[in-house]
């Protein structure tokens, strides 16, 4: 059996304590270990993605216990794509954290970073709902530490809100798991998908409650309106590299919705019929609208980016809520784009903060390194607002196309297009105030000019922008691949049979018991 | 017994929800603890309530479902750790700002308005 599948979880889990114990006082060694770890992760996850590309579902049984009794890790196209995206994002964000010196402003940045990666990777790879909960908690507890990295009152206060909101989410998650287990007697996702389909329509109270609660929980993670209140202040107050890494965390919620509502509660299941169309789609449209209006209303650059994250999550959710292969394929393409664009914008915000001192959208003298920063902001804003020629435009077109013949098509098209217009205005206003109008202000000759950000910071941001451009250039290939991904999600038989029929320790004995 | 457990979970949840909606961190954290207690009991009850039976397959005919017990243990450990973290962060925020409201401070809004 191949042990590679579990490595994205195990490697950071070993590296993090090693960094704490062995390299506690040596930031240099920490940096080397952390970058080496993330680079190895990219290699491993790229290997996994390559392995899954032809449609094979790789199963790893921990301790060789067969599902549904043992814990399983499953790597299919969707999971491997998400872990690869996480690893690539993590490398650039880590390089930025090192280049800007953020990692040295508090202790244990690198260890927490590795734990965070462990949680995210685990959440993407697990095949068991309870383990999804556990990995959510792993990534959350690491994110609490990262969120208040470098301290400060505003950050701590935002941290309290963030932690409490997520604790509430975890409690709801446990309630959902309890009702699911009480109804079906299993929490393995493949096993659940078989058993949920067997339940008679009149005895489905617990299942319905669980389905709605799970949607709420994942909606909290994905910051869908009206569950988005934790996002603006925590993302704005978090250290910039952390906020950039958090760009993938909202996608964990989106991933969980895609996974659970294609596998366990598929769209044609009569129990949860209408849940997506009736609740998720309007909520997603409202998120999109509120996010983009927030972009226009924001008075600080970091809030503006945080609201654009809500808006782009709304866009992802619109595509997901269609729950058609076309919609999911578009959503997956947009997820890659939105993760990279949001992370880039958070890092650029920090470039501005580093040389400007504050992020108020008021006219101040030109900042150090303004030309390059402004150029990067211009590109990232084009990507985020979905103007041609970058990947945001392609993603939006795919989503509009997927929504074309659905009942709410008029609403969807109207809201997507007007929200895009509003966000373009919001970003254009912010960019012109911060970079353009600054040229008209006299530089105070007495003032000490702030140092320009380090080349490594620019290299990291430039790398992310390059990924966005590559995503645009290879849009055809990527979209073809996400289409096969969606096809695999809507035909989960291979997944289910791989998970349930692979024999493990004692599987003969359990077979007898089952039948 | 079902009634007793169910109403205990209900009361704990209701009290927890009420406290979570308060404005200061201490009641909110207390409310969170109550909610986690409620969910722990709920998880425990999800494997059906069985009295005086071992949580392991033996020759005896009745046994308790062992899985919820494992789930509850995990949930207890996690909620315990999380509560410790939130107490530390809340204490830090309180000692730093001399204010333990959970909402965004009013003066931050005023600052913004002064500038615009």
Q: Report the CATH number that the domain containing residue B50 is assigned in CATH.
A: 1.10.287
Q: What is the pLDDT of residue A217?
A: 94
Q: What is the pLDDT of residue A505?
A: 78
Say which residue the tokens 């055809």 belong to: A476
Q: What is the pLDDT of residue A513?
A: 46
Whether B79 and chain A come into contact, CB under 8 Å, resolves to yes
Distance, CA of B67 to CA of A92 (rounded, Å): 41
Q: What is the pLDDT of residue A441?
A: 75
Indicate the number of domains in chain B. 1
Q: What is the pLDDT of residue B105?
A: 64
Q: Among A144, A171, A181, select the one facing B39 at the smallest CB separation.
A: A171
Query: Chain-wide mean pLDDT for chain A?
Result: 89
Which tokens is A370 given?
Answer: 């303004």
- Please write the tens of the pLDDT for every residue from A247-292: 999 999 999 999 999 998 888 877 777 787 788 899 999 999 999 9
Q: Among A148, A164, A177, select the one facing B32 at the smallest CB separation.
A: A164
Among residues of chain A, what percentage have pLDDT more than 90? Answer: 59
- Please write the tens of the pLDDT for every residue from A403-431: 988 888 899 999 999 999 999 999 999 98
A464, A469, A472, A474 alpha-carbon torsion, rounded to 10°:
-90
Please tell me the number of Cα atoms within 13 Å of A510 on its side-chain side: 14
Q: What is the pLDDT of residue A136?
A: 94
Q: Among A156, A170, A177, select the one facing B93 at the smallest CB separation.
A: A156
- Please write the tens of the pLDDT for every residue from A446-505: 666 677 788 899 999 999 999 999 999 999 999 999 999 999 999 988 999 999 888 887
The pLDDT confidence band at residue A246, using thresholds 50, 70 and 90, is: very high
Q: Measured between alpha carbons, how far is residue A466 from residues A100, A185, A325, B32, B70 in Å?
A: 19, 48, 29, 44, 47
**Which whole number is the average pLDDT over B106-110?**
53
Which tokens is A429 given?
Answer: 């206003």
The pLDDT confidence band at residue B116, using thresholds 50, 70 and 90, is: very low
Contacts of B24 in chain A (CB under 8 A): none
Helix, strand, coil percentages for chain A (3-state, nearest 5) = 75, 5, 20
Query: Chain-wide mean pLDDT for chain B?
Result: 84
Among residues of chain A, what percentage have pLDDT more than 70? Answer: 96
User: A329 and A490 in contact (C-beta within 8 Å)?
Assistant: no
**Which whole number is the average pLDDT over A360-369?**
76
Domain that includes residue B79, residue range: 2-115
Say which residue the tokens 């929800």 belong to: B17
pLDDT reading at A97 higher than 70: yes
The pLDDT confidence band at residue A515, using thresholds 50, 70 and 90, is: very low
Q: Among A144, A161, A175, select the one facing B42 at the smallest CB separation.
A: A175
Which tokens is A23 given?
Answer: 């390299």
Contacts of B78 in chain A (CB under 8 A): 134, 137, 170
The nearest CA of chain B is from the CA of A361 a distance in Å of: 9
The nearest CA of chain B is from the CA of A291 a distance in Å of: 19
Among residues of chain B, what percentage have pLDDT more than 70? Answer: 90
User: A389 and A454 in contact (C-beta within 8 Å)?
Assistant: no
Give residues 14 to 53 of B whose Cβ lies within 8 Å of A.
20, 25, 28-29, 32, 35-36, 39-40, 42-43, 45-48
H-helix or E-strand spanning residue A504 = none
Higher pLDDT, A382 or B51: A382
Q: What is the pLDDT of residue A446?
A: 67
pLDDT reading at A118 higher than 90: yes
Q: What is the pLDDT of residue B107?
A: 55
Contact B86 A170 (CB under 8 A): no
Higher pLDDT, B49 or A242: A242
The nearest CA of chain A is from the CA of B36 a distance in Å of: 6
Q: What is the pLDDT of residue A445?
A: 65
Contact A168 B92 (CB under 8 A): no
Q: Please name which of A50, A37, A70, A66 lies closest in space to residue A5, comparing C-alpha atoms.
A: A50
Say which residue the tokens 């392995």 belong to: A51
The pLDDT confidence band at residue B58, using thresholds 50, 70 and 90, is: confident
Distance, CA of A477 to CA of A95 (rounded, Å): 28
Q: What is the pLDDT of residue B49?
A: 84
Which tokens is B74 given?
Answer: 């995990």
Q: What is the pLDDT of residue A448?
A: 67
Q: Please name which of A287, A129, A267 lies closest in space to residue A210, comparing C-alpha atoms.
A: A129
Contact A163 B89 (CB under 8 A): yes
Q: What is the pLDDT of residue B115?
A: 44
Distance, CA of A483 to CA of A325 (rounded, Å): 7
Whether A233 and chain B come into contact, CB under 8 Å, resolves to yes
The nearest CA of chain B is from the CA of A457 a distance in Å of: 29
User: A365 and A443 in contact (C-beta within 8 Å)?
Assistant: yes
Whether B95 and chain A come into contact, CB under 8 Å, resolves to no
**Which whole number is the average pLDDT over A195-205?**
81
H-helix or E-strand spanning residue A267 = none
């Amino acid at each position: 059996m191949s042990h590679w599948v579990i490595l994205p979880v195990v490697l950071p889990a070993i590296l993090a304590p090693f960094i704490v114990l062995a390299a506690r006082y040596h930031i240099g060694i920490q940096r080397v270990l952390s970058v080496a770890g993330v680079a190895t992760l990219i290699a491993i996850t790229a290997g996994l993605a390559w392995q899954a590309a032809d449609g094979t579902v790789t199963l790893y049984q921990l301790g060789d216990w067969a599902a549904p009794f043992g814990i399983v890790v499953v790597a299919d196209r969707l999971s491997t794509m998400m872990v690869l995206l996480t690893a690539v994002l993590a490398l650039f964000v880590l390089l930025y954290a090192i280049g800007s010196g953020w990692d040295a402003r508090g202790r244990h940045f690198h260890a927490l970073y590795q734990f965070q990666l462990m949680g995210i990777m685990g959440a993407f790879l697990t095949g068991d709902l309870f383990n999804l909960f556990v990995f959510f908690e792993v990534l959350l507890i690491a994110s609490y530490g990262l969120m208040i990295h470098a301290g400060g009152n505003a950050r701590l206060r935002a941290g309290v809100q963030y932690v409490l909101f997520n604790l509430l989410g975890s409690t709801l998650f446990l309630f959902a798991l309890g009702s699911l287990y009480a109804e079906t007697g299993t929490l393995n996702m493949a096993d659940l998908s078989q058993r949920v389909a067997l339940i008679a329509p009149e005895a489905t109270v617990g299942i319905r409650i669980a389905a709605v609660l799970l949607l709420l929980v994942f909606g909290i993670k994905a910051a869908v309106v009206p569950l988005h209140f934790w996002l603006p202040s925590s993302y704005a107050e978090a250290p910039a590299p952390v906020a950039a890494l958090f760009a993938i965390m909202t996608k964990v919620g989106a991933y969980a919705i895609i996974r659970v509502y294609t596998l366990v509660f598929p769209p044609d299941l009569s129990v949860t019929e209408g849940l997506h169309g009736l609740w998720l789609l309007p909520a997603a449209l409202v998120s999109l609208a509120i996010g983009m209006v927030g972009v226009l209303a924001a008075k600080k650059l970091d809030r503006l980016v945080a609201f654009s994250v809500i808006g782009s999550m709304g866009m992802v959710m619109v595509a997901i809520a269609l729950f058609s292969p076309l919609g999911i394929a578009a959503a997956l393409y947009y997820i890659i784009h939105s993760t990279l664009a949001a992370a880039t914008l958070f890092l650029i915000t920090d470039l501005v903060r580093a040389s400007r001192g504050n992020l108020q959208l008021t006219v101040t003298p030109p900042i150090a390194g303004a030309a390059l920063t402004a150029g990067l902001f211009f590109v990232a804003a084009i990507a985020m607002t979905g103007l041609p020629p970058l990947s945001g435009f392609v993603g939006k077109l795919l989503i509009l196309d997927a929504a074309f013949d659905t009942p709410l098509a008029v609403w969807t098209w109207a809201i997507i297009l007007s929200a895009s217009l509003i966000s373009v205005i919001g970003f254009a206003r912010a960019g012109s105030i911060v970079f353009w109008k600054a040229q008209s202000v006299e530089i105070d000759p007495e003032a000490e000019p702030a140092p320009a950000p380090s080349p490594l910071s620019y290299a990291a941001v430039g790398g992310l922008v390059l990924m966005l451009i590559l995503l645009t250039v290879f849009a055809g290939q990527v979209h073809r691949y996400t289409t096969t991904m969606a096809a695999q999600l809507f035909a989960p038989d291979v997944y289910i049979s791989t998970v349930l029929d692979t024999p493990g320790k004692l599987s003969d004995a359990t077979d007898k018991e089952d039948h | 017994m079902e009634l007793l457990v169910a109403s205990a979970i209900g009361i704990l949840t209701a009290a927890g929800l009420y406290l979570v909606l308060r404005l200061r961190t201490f009641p909110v954290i207390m409310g969170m603890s109550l909610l986690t207690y409620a969910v722990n009991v709920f998880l425990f009850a999800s494997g059906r309530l069985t009295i005086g039976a071992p949580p392991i397959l033996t020759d005896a005919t009745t046994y308790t479902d062992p899985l919820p017990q494992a789930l509850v243990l995990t949930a207890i450990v996690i909620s315990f750790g999380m509560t410790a973290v939130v107490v530390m962060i809340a204490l830090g925020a309180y000692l730093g700002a001399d204010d333990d409201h959970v909402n965004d401070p009013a003066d931050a809004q005023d600052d913004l308005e002064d500038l615009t």
